[in-house]
Chains A and B, each alone.
Chain A
Amino acid sequence: MNNERILNLAIRYGFLVLLAGIVMYFSLAAEGFASPRSAVFVLQSVAITGILALGVTSTLVVDGFDLSIGSVATSSLMLSAYSMVILEYSAFVTVLLCLTMGALVGLVNGLLIVKMRVPDLLATLGMMFLLIGLQRIPTQGNSIATGMRLPDGSIAEGTFAAEFLWIGRHRFDMFIEKLFPMPVVVFLLVAVAVWLFLGFTRHGRLMYAIGSNQRAAELVGTNVSRYKVLAYMISGVLASVGGILLAARLGRGDIASGNNLLLDSVAAALIGFAVLGAARPNAFGTAIGALFVGILLQGLTMMNAPYYTQDFVKGAVLVAALVFTFYLSSRRSSAGRH
């Protein structure tokens, strides 16, 4: 009985204790780690990944998976550059265009899965390839920047609008002047919104029900197809938000950026399973998962660990979190998670 309580406590708080331990260790071992600037740097490094991870979380909740988020984000990056630099649209139109593109991709993903009965992994894998290819066609595979030569011989004269760059680069004053970057604000807002939606509305609850037993959810009168499509649309829109922030930070349509986005955000969502012993996708866990990876990498970097060890560290954290989730949770007498 006592053993079981310890096990339950370990499953519930183990990951958070580990996180606190890591923060303490780096604060003592790495000079400058425990400073506002460093904390904000961590947040900034995980903001975009975190937003994408929250999107993939909503598809995981309905027992789906979205592999296309990385390519939606880079498509959104290229689209925003194309819209402002070549088509010379305003920042507002550009943002609207990107969000619409994300929603549309999510809709197509959802319909492929719900109506065409394509398995989720395959549908979104197909969409991923399609988008990676599509985003290169208008520029013949080149990155987009002001002053580039277009295929018809003219020069692209548009520039990234100042308002647009503000989204990616503005820093709010907090304790220290120009501390808190806009992307972090967006990340926190998205995280709270997704957390509230999935955890505290009936729509979120029904999505969890679909993920746990789709047939049962259907037989109590849930519109399963609509919720599944909704999940993929959330994922698509959030991925396009991530792409917008990336474009606004870079200030150019860099074709090679955003390579790691998919894997990093999926890792964050899966690490999130372990937080508070949830053993299921959840917004709070995803945000913590993203932070965990960010803190670890920041600390290691400050202790002069070479950059090429980063992926190894991420992988190790992910495997540990998965063991934590699936092995320990299966040993616990299963209590209701909702």
Chain B
Amino acid sequence: MSQTICEVRGVEKSFGSNRVLRGIDLSMCAGEVTVLMGANGAGKSTLVKVLCGVHSADEGELVLAGNPYTPVDAADAISQGVVTVHQSIDDGVIPDLDVATNLMLDKLTAPGAGLFVNDRKLRAEARKVAEAMGLTMNVRQLVSELDVADRQMIAIARALARSPKLLILDEPTSSLSATEAERLFALIDRLRSAGVAILYISHRMSDIRRIADRIVSMRDGSISGLFDTQPLDYEGAVTSMLGHAMTDVDITPETNSAPILCLKAIKLREDSPPIDLVANDGEVIAVTGLLGSGKSQLAEVIFGLSRPIAGKMKLDGGSYQPANAKSAVSAGVFMSPKDRASNAVIPDFDIANNMTLPFLGSFSRYYKLSDRKQRRASEEMIGNIGIVCQSNRDGIGTLSGGNQQKVMIARWLLKPGRVLLLDEPFQGVDIGARRDIGRHIRATAKGRATIVFVAEIDEALEIADRIIVLNEAAIAGEHINQNIDLAKLVAEVSGPSLSPALAG
């Protein structure tokens, strides 16, 4: 057995009353790839942030190479040999500088670096790093001119140039194509044989199958499964990640009702097959798929934020071609966008004003806004959907993520609409709030068609009557949410390169 590089013992972490990590024990060994799986809100990112020095643990201890490891910040973690490549690529690169400078940034910030930059030497060293990674681009090129995958590779290359003891990769393939991912895996193989411990966070079954030495599943802030006997039990890992969550929610699928929204031969990309979809009255449809599967693109097309390459949409039998969000909303198509902090929340407003924002017109008399009407309507909503707050005058920023999300969704339930689109409604939402939202969406589903876009399968299982799987901007499968063949569903999500054991 190889030597343990990093050990996590009984780590706990809470944000306010929300216990995100509830006693995590985990060890990572030299020359081993540990894959960490977990649904949204399971606590993966928090664990990563504890390891890379962004958060400090409330309880428990970390050990690195036999010594206590208490990073004070991200830079400290790196200098001690724990290097992280984060999911959001743009945190990793500086777009306005060239490739060489990006690769050599650490040299520039290292203590004792000279005052003047020797560009030729810098480029020579950068070329060496790039070659080691198998990168072929010109090091003089600006990073902003590169595509997402190349940027990702640069972020990873820079992490590797620091010769880490523990390398943490947070969903590194989410924006990579299959061949690019293979390049990354080849590199991981090399690092593994060089004795680096690797913690790899992903849900992509194809990735996991390719590189995992062992799999750790997380659920609700605890380790729910550890799989390290060959051959690895992938199905068991998925099940322990999802837990028994879906049996908690009892869904009788709604079928056979009048169609509201029809998508006819919608093409999202030049080279993708057309998508046909009918959303019926009272039905909740979950569209699921990996990042980049075209989920968000589809939501944007329906909400009028972008135009499809080809195809038509019909709403209540009439032609529906929204030019922008405004025309979609006036046609009765509402969307709660993903990333609420940047796309939905008005930080300066209180709960009532955030909630009533889309329909201020109906809370006005002549030209004057009626504060009383706004407050009365939002007070009612706060009760219905269960928002935990002191009053509707609370600033939106004082609420927890789950409660903020409830406000954002309540916004679109104030007025009856024809179609409600929810793009990643459970992002950064704790499990309790997630159940509340799901219950309320289902309870109010009559009279409209609801389409929920989620990457996590268990979220889809919790809320939907019908689940549609997208892969590479095409429909890969469709299921009525009753006695679903989970393995088949997972196989469709992950795409064709899945292990036969799981797909069968």
Docked CA distance A217–B353 (Å)? 12
In this assembly, does A280 line the interface, its C-beta being within 8 Å of a C-beta of chain B?
yes
Docked CA distance A280–B349 (Å)? 11
Q: Which residue from chain A places its CB closest to the CB of B358 in the assembled complex?
A: A220
In this assembly, does B17 line the interface, its C-beta being within 8 Å of a C-beta of chain A?
no
| B349 A337 Cβ-Cβ under 8 A | yes
Which stretch of A25-33, A69-77, A158-166, A201-209 is in the interface? A201-209
| A201 B364 Cβ-Cβ under 8 A | yes
Closest-CB distance, A325 to chain B (whole angstroms): 13
In this assembly, does A174 line the interface, its C-beta being within 8 Å of a C-beta of chain B?
no
| B368 A201 Cβ-Cβ under 8 A | yes
In this assembly, does B397 line the interface, its C-beta being within 8 Å of a C-beta of chain A?
yes
When distances are taken between beta carbons in the complex, the residues of chain A under 8 Å from B328 are: 221
Q: Which residue from chain A places its CB closest to the CB of B350 in the assembled complex?
A: A336
Docked CA distance A338–B354 (Å)? 9
In this assembly, does B241 line the interface, its C-beta being within 8 Å of a C-beta of chain A?
no
When distances are taken between beta carbons in the complex, the residues of chain B under 8 Å from A208 are: 346, 348-349
In this assembly, does A200 line the interface, its C-beta being within 8 Å of a C-beta of chain B?
yes
Docked CA distance A219–B329 (Å)? 9
In this assembly, does B345 line the interface, its C-beta being within 8 Å of a C-beta of chain A?
yes
Closest-CB distance, A57 to chain B (whole angstroms): 15
When distances are taken between beta carbons in the complex, the residues of chain A under 8 Å from B367 are: 201-203
Answer whether A217 and B394 are a contact pair too, CB < 8 Å, given A201-B364, A202-B364: no
When distances are taken between beta carbons in the complex, the residues of chain A under 8 Å from B337 are: 219
Which residue of the partner chain, among B329, B347, B394, B395, contacts A220 with CB atoms under 8 Å? B329
In this assembly, does B229 line the interface, its C-beta being within 8 Å of a C-beta of chain A?
no
| B394 A335 Cβ-Cβ under 8 A | yes
| B349 A220 Cβ-Cβ under 8 A | no
In this assembly, does B74 line the interface, its C-beta being within 8 Å of a C-beta of chain A?
no
Q: Which residue from chain A places its CB closest to the CB of B335 in the assembled complex?
A: A219
Closest-CB distance, B252 to chain A (whole angstroms): 33
Size category of the binding interface on chain A: 20 to 34
Could you mark each residue 309-330 of chain B with 1 if its beta carbon is under 8 Å from any beta carbon of chain A, else 0? 0000000000000000110111
When distances are taken between beta carbons in the complex, the residues of chain B under 8 Å from A280 are: 348
Q: Which residue from chain B places its CB closest to the CB of A213 in the assembled complex?
A: B346
| A213 B345 Cβ-Cβ under 8 A | yes
Docked CA distance A131–B303 (Å)? 42
Q: Which residue from chain B places its CB closest to the CB of A335 in the assembled complex?
A: B395
| A216 B326 Cβ-Cβ under 8 A | no
Which residue of the partner chain, among B325, B349, B361, B394, contacts A219 with CB atoms under 8 Å? B325
Could you mark each residue 217-252 of chain A with 1 if its beta carbon is under 8 Å from any beta carbon of chain B, else 0? 111111100000000000000000000000000000
Closest-CB distance, B404 to chain A (whole angstroms): 12
Closest-CB distance, B124 to chain A (whole angstroms): 38
When distances are taken between beta carbons in the complex, the residues of chain A under 8 Å from B329 are: 220-221
| B360 A202 Cβ-Cβ under 8 A | yes
When distances are taken between beta carbons in the complex, the residues of chain B under 8 Å from A201 are: 364, 367-369
* Residue of A202, A209, A218, A334 ringed by the most chain B CB atoms within 10 A: A202
When distances are taken between beta carbons in the complex, the residues of chain A under 8 Å from B346 are: 208-209, 212-213, 216-217
When distances are taken between beta carbons in the complex, the residues of chain B under 8 Å from A211 are: 348
| B344 A219 Cβ-Cβ under 8 A | yes
In B336-364, the 8 Å CB interface with A consists of: 337, 342-354, 357-358, 360-361, 363-364
Closest-CB distance, B201 to chain A (whole angstroms): 28
| B326 A222 Cβ-Cβ under 8 A | yes
Could you mark each residue 446-481 of chain B with 1 if its beta carbon is under 8 Å from any beta carbon of chain A, else 0? 000000000000000000000000000000000000
Docked CA distance A221–B305 (Å)? 11
| A219 B393 Cβ-Cβ under 8 A | no
Answer whether A200 and B369 are a contact pair too, CB < 8 Å, given A205-B360, A335-B393: yes
In A30-79, the 8 Å CB interface with B consists of: none
In this assembly, does A149 line the interface, its C-beta being within 8 Å of a C-beta of chain B?
no
| A336 B369 Cβ-Cβ under 8 A | no
Docked CA distance A200–B349 (Å)? 14
Closest-CB distance, B419 to chain A (whole angstroms): 14
Closest-CB distance, B379 to chain A (whole angstroms): 14
Answer whether A205 and B348 are a contact pair too, CB < 8 Å, given A220-B357, A221-B326: no
Docked CA distance A153–B395 (Å)? 67
In this assembly, does A215 line the interface, its C-beta being within 8 Å of a C-beta of chain B?
yes
When distances are taken between beta carbons in the complex, the residues of chain B under 8 Å from A209 are: 346, 349, 357
| B325 A206 Cβ-Cβ under 8 A | no
In A180-204, the 8 Å CB interface with B consists of: 196, 200-203
Closest-CB distance, A257 to chain B (whole angstroms): 37
In this assembly, does B497 line the interface, its C-beta being within 8 Å of a C-beta of chain A?
no
When distances are taken between beta carbons in the complex, the residues of chain B under 8 Å from A218 are: 325
Docked CA distance A61–B345 (Å)? 17
Answer whether A217 and B357 are a contact pair too, CB < 8 Å, given A222-B326, A336-B350: yes
| A334 B325 Cβ-Cβ under 8 A | no
When distances are taken between beta carbons in the complex, the residues of chain B under 8 Å from A334 are: 395, 397-398
Closest-CB distance, A265 to chain B (whole angstroms): 23
In this assembly, does A3 line the interface, its C-beta being within 8 Å of a C-beta of chain B?
no
| B343 A215 Cβ-Cβ under 8 A | yes
When distances are taken between beta carbons in the complex, the residues of chain B under 8 Å from A217 are: 346, 357
Closest-CB distance, A226 to chain B (whole angstroms): 10
| B326 A223 Cβ-Cβ under 8 A | yes
Closest-CB distance, B400 to chain A (whole angstroms): 14
In this assembly, does B411 line the interface, its C-beta being within 8 Å of a C-beta of chain A?
yes
Answer whether A213 and B326 are a contact pair too, CB < 8 Å, given A202-B369, A221-B358, A335-B395: no
| B369 A205 Cβ-Cβ under 8 A | yes
Docked CA distance A202–B393 (Å)? 18
In this assembly, does B286 line the interface, its C-beta being within 8 Å of a C-beta of chain A?
no
| A200 B360 Cβ-Cβ under 8 A | no
In this assembly, does B242 line the interface, its C-beta being within 8 Å of a C-beta of chain A?
no
Q: Which residue from chain A places its CB closest to the CB of B342 in the assembled complex?
A: A215
| A212 B347 Cβ-Cβ under 8 A | yes
Q: Which residue from chain B places its CB closest to the CB of A206 in the assembled complex?
A: B360
| B349 A336 Cβ-Cβ under 8 A | yes
| A337 B345 Cβ-Cβ under 8 A | no
When distances are taken between beta carbons in the complex, the residues of chain B under 8 Å from A196 are: 368
Which residue of the partner chain, among A206, A216, A221, A223, contacts B344 with CB atoms under 8 Å? A216
| A202 B349 Cβ-Cβ under 8 A | no
Answer whether A337 and B330 are a contact pair too, CB < 8 Å, given A200-B368, A201-B364, A216-B343: no
| B342 A337 Cβ-Cβ under 8 A | no
In this assembly, does A260 line the interface, its C-beta being within 8 Å of a C-beta of chain B?
no
Closest-CB distance, B438 to chain A (whole angstroms): 22
| A213 B347 Cβ-Cβ under 8 A | yes
Which residue of the partner chain, among B343, B351, B368, contacts A336 with CB atoms under 8 Å? B351
Closest-CB distance, B399 to chain A (whole angstroms): 10
When distances are taken between beta carbons in the complex, the residues of chain A under 8 Å from B348 are: 208, 211-212, 280, 336-338
* Residue of B325, B361, B394 ringed by the most chain A CB atoms within 10 A: B325
Answer whether A333 and B343 are a contact pair too, CB < 8 Å, given A220-B358, A280-B348: no
Q: What are 12 A-B residue pairs whose CB atoms fall within 8 Å in the complex?
A: A202-B364, A205-B360, A213-B342, A215-B343, A216-B346, A217-B346, A219-B305, A280-B348, A333-B398, A335-B350, A336-B351, A336-B396
Give 9 new A-B contacts, CB below 8 A, not counting A202-B363, A219-B325, A336-B350.
A200-B369, A205-B369, A215-B343, A220-B411, A221-B329, A223-B326, A280-B348, A336-B353, A336-B394
| 6 nearest A-B residue pairs (beta carbon) | A336-B350, A221-B329, A202-B360, A336-B395, A212-B348, A220-B358
Taking Cβ atoms with an 8 Å cutoff, the residues of B that contact A are 305, 325-326, 328-330, 335, 337, 342-354, 357-358, 360-361, 363-364, 367-369, 393-398, 411
Taking Cβ atoms with an 8 Å cutoff, the residues of A that contact B are 196, 200-203, 205-206, 208-209, 211-213, 215-223, 280, 333-338
